[in-house]
Chains A and B, each alone.
Chain A
Amino acid sequence: MTEPDGLQLGTGVGAAVLRFPDRSLSVNVAGSDRANRPLVARAVAARASCGGDRLTVLLDGRANAELVAAVADTGRLAVVFSEPSTHRSLQVKGDGAVVAAPTVEEVALIGPYLDGFIAELTGIGFTEPFIRAVMTCDPADLVALHVRPAAVFDQTPGPKAGEAVQA
């Protein structure tokens, strides 16, 4: 069984992207360098804009310098959103990703996003100090990655994991 290629833009990707990151979910990203080596990082916030045509993730650029450099170089980016309490997950892939300094508006996303994440995770037994220990990031180190989603995949554990999301 091979994995479908995923939906192309215009057949529902935008709506799926818009639906997911407006809540405080666990966000993790992967990139690859020119040698095709995988890189991985945890993001601290995400948002979709332009009707789902643009996805922005914020992460600690100092802690994830290698990934940020690779994204700047190859433009390849994959982002997985997961709801910890249900394990529902969605992966967004795109190329042409760019690295930018976050805007003031984007930096302002961090606090509310973390608050929402704390609310989500304390509900399943994690403590607030623990969540802050993982998610704390110096605003000066924040980096924004912007990508135009090209495909979205359902990644909820189970036999349908990896299938393209239908409109």
Chain B
Amino acid sequence: MSDPQARNMLTLDAIRTCLEGVIPATIATVAPDGTPNVSQLSQVHYVDPGHIALSYQFFNKTRSNILDCRDALLEVIDPSTGAQYRLRLDYLRTETDGPLFESMKAKLSGIASHVGMAEVFRLRGADLFRVTEIEAVPGGRPLPARMRPRSLLSAVRRACEGLRGCADLSDLLDRAIVALRDLFGVEHALILLPDAASGRLFTVAALGYEASGEAGGRGSGIGWEVAPGDGVIGVAARERVPIRITHMTTDVAYSMAMRQGTTAGPLREIPFPGLERPHSQLAVPILAHEAGDGCGKLAGVLAGVLFVESAQEMRFTYDDEDALATLAAQLGALMRSLPMVPVPTTEAEAEDTPAETTAPPAGGQPITVRHYATDDSVFLDHDYLIKGVAGAILWKLVRDHTTLGRTDFTNRELRLAPDIPLPDFAENLEARLILLQRRLDDRRGPLRIEKTGRGRFRLLVQTPLRLEEMQ
């Protein structure tokens, strides 16, 4: 190293792009008898400014040497400039579960499918190393660094500013989607909220899936469901950690898991098709934190998952992950502070039942609304619409509408309704109403819901309803 100033600039963060897995790294280790060993690595995982982790898949000489001697030297290449760096490593420990392990496992799965070795690659552990020294190799002739299309830091700042002053959860979700599209250049995104009772996640906001269309039966993305632990979204939710895959093909297990049908039957669920051919995916948990004890160790409550994907490889980098994790943190804080349980602010709202309004006579061809009591699934003219809490809500609304002629309702009466199996999580109601409203909008049918004020909404019915209750 000839330039001490340049050496001072050489931090792990400064060369993080070398750890994206585009070009294999080379690792040198030494056996106790001094015999060197050299091997190539597909995955070097950035952990924090002082640590990296390597995937432990097989017990080989590299691993044996590391366990014996702890010392390793890693050579990496910047995938845009070709600049080369050497990192001296000190082995600390191996983790076999937890966030680091899960994050590496998901990424490895993507790499494995990329090289056609999905069967061969299985993560046994994440070997954690301290980076003790970084040296720029004074060889080669590096290219100028590529121009970046946007400043992610600026995008985060403006996105956070754009989320200020949201009226409610629905408004917050919409603004977050707009920020992803306009500030981060994201083409396909979903925001999912957890069902507190089942642990499943359902999408309440979507970007860029309209093209998949109702023709394919896939919808706009609203109402898609993910089981806990399934795919990058399910793992991100379970482990409370961002999961990012930079190379993937349709046969990757994580993707397939998401595409599978689910346990409750073939017609009662809206599956999770996602993109036909995703090559990059990133799922970031949205956590809502309680006030801590000052130790910073409290795990947050899962409030949702932010998911982006792309048909382009390497679309989401470490920097994108950090940026979206920051945005997700802001979303988590705002979701917590939003008036999820609207406090009655007017006299009308304070009453359990609003002033009853008579529905205008709806004309035209009647539509059949069929309700299955076993899982509260609701079908409109034989087409599945929704199930669970949101299904129970819709069933109550249409029954009150047909028997009492009501069109105006309050969140409060729904919370108190004995026939709506609402868990003790108040925010669930608003999330379910958003889901219901957006599914009805997707359908572009004769049934809609519109918000009429804080904690109030109206059922819009354009054709006569014929209700069928199935046991």
**Max chain A C-beta neighbours (<10 A), residue from B29, B40, B77:** B40
**Max chain A C-beta neighbours (<10 A), residue from B57, B60, B69:** B60
Output the nearest chain A residue to B33 by Cβ-Cβ distance: A36
B-side contacts of A135, CB under 8 Å: 140
**Contact between chains at A137 and B139 (CB < 8 Å):** yes
**Max chain B C-beta neighbours (<10 A), residue from A129, A153, A157:** A157
**Contact between chains at B139 and A62 (CB < 8 Å):** yes
Partner of B39, one of A26, A39, A131, A155: A155
Nearest chain B CB to A115 CB, angstrom units:
17
Nearest chain B CB to A149 CB, angstrom units:
13
A-side contacts of B84, CB under 8 Å: 42, 134
Q: Is A100 an interface residue (CB 8 A)?
A: no
Q: Is A133 an interface residue (CB 8 A)?
A: yes
- Complex-state Cα separation, A39 to B139, whole angstroms: 15
- Complex-state Cα separation, A60 to B57, whole angstroms: 32
Q: Is A28 an interface residue (CB 8 A)?
A: yes
Partner of A80, one of B39, B60, B72: B39
Nearest chain B CB to A27 CB, angstrom units:
10
Q: CB-CB contacts of B321-339 with A at 8 A, as 1s and 0s?
A: 0000000000000000000
Within 77-92 of A, Cβ neighbours of B (below 8 Å) are at: 77-80, 82, 84, 87, 89, 91
B-side contacts of A15, CB under 8 Å: none
Nearest chain B CB to A41 CB, angstrom units:
7
Within 125-167 of A, Cβ neighbours of B (below 8 Å) are at: 129-137, 153, 155, 157-159, 161-162
B-side contacts of A39, CB under 8 Å: 28, 36, 73
**Contact between chains at A28 and B40 (CB < 8 Å):** yes
**Contact between chains at B36 and A31 (CB < 8 Å):** yes
B-side contacts of A2, CB under 8 Å: 64
Q: CB-CB contacts of A19-31 with B at 8 A, as 1s and 0s?
A: 0000000101111
**Contact between chains at B120 and A136 (CB < 8 Å):** no
Q: Is B259 an interface residue (CB 8 A)?
A: no
B-side contacts of A91, CB under 8 Å: 37-39
**Contact between chains at A36 and B34 (CB < 8 Å):** yes
B-side contacts of A37, CB under 8 Å: 30, 71, 73
Q: Is A119 an interface residue (CB 8 A)?
A: no
Q: Is B289 an interface residue (CB 8 A)?
A: no
Output the nearest chain A residue to B136 by Cβ-Cβ distance: A63
A161 and B37 contact, Cβ closer than 8 Å, known pairs A38-B28, A134-B77, A134-B84: no
A-side contacts of B147, CB under 8 Å: none
**Contact between chains at A32 and B117 (CB < 8 Å):** no
**Contact between chains at B34 and A32 (CB < 8 Å):** yes
Within 51-110 of B, Cβ neighbours of A (below 8 Å) are at: 57-61, 64, 69, 71-75, 77, 81-82, 84, 86
Q: Is A54 an interface residue (CB 8 A)?
A: no
- Complex-state Cα separation, A51 to B133, whole angstroms: 41
Nearest chain B CB to A63 CB, angstrom units:
3
Partner of B120, one of A76, A131, A157: A157
Q: Is B137 an interface residue (CB 8 A)?
A: yes
Output the nearest chain A residue to B72 by Cβ-Cβ distance: A38
Q: Is A47 an interface residue (CB 8 A)?
A: no
Q: CB-CB contacts of B18-39 with A at 8 A, as 1s and 0s?
A: 0000001011111010111111
Output the nearest chain B residue to A121 by Cβ-Cβ distance: B23
Output the nearest chain B residue to A133 by Cβ-Cβ distance: B82
- Complex-state Cα separation, A36 to B35, whole angstroms: 8
**Contact between chains at B86 and A40 (CB < 8 Å):** yes
Nearest chain B CB to A111 CB, angstrom units:
16
A-side contacts of B64, CB under 8 Å: 2-3
**Contact between chains at B141 and A136 (CB < 8 Å):** yes
**Contact between chains at A159 and B120 (CB < 8 Å):** yes
**Contact between chains at A30 and B137 (CB < 8 Å):** no
Output the nearest chain A residue to B87 by Cβ-Cβ distance: A40
Q: Is A50 an interface residue (CB 8 A)?
A: no
- Complex-state Cα separation, A77 to B74, whole angstroms: 16
**Contact between chains at A32 and B36 (CB < 8 Å):** yes
**Contact between chains at A30 and B141 (CB < 8 Å):** no
- Complex-state Cα separation, A77 to B36, whole angstroms: 6
**Contact between chains at B138 and A63 (CB < 8 Å):** yes
A30 and B37 contact, Cβ closer than 8 Å, known pairs A63-B139, A63-B140, A157-B120: yes
B-side contacts of A153, CB under 8 Å: 61
On A, residues with C-beta under 8 Å from B are 1-3, 26, 28-32, 36-42, 60, 62-64, 74, 76-80, 82, 84, 87, 89, 91, 93, 95, 129-137, 153, 155, 157-159, 161-162
- What are 6 residue pairs bridging A and B, where the CB atoms are less than 8 Å apart in the complex? A40-B28, A60-B139, A74-B34, A77-B36, A129-B143, A136-B139
Q: In the complex, given contacts A2-B64, A63-B140, what are 10 additional A-B residue pairs having Cβ atoms less than 8 angstroms apart? A: A26-B40, A37-B71, A39-B36, A62-B139, A76-B36, A78-B35, A137-B139, A153-B61, A159-B58, A162-B60
Closest 4 CB pairs of A and B: A63-B139, A133-B82, A30-B28, A30-B38
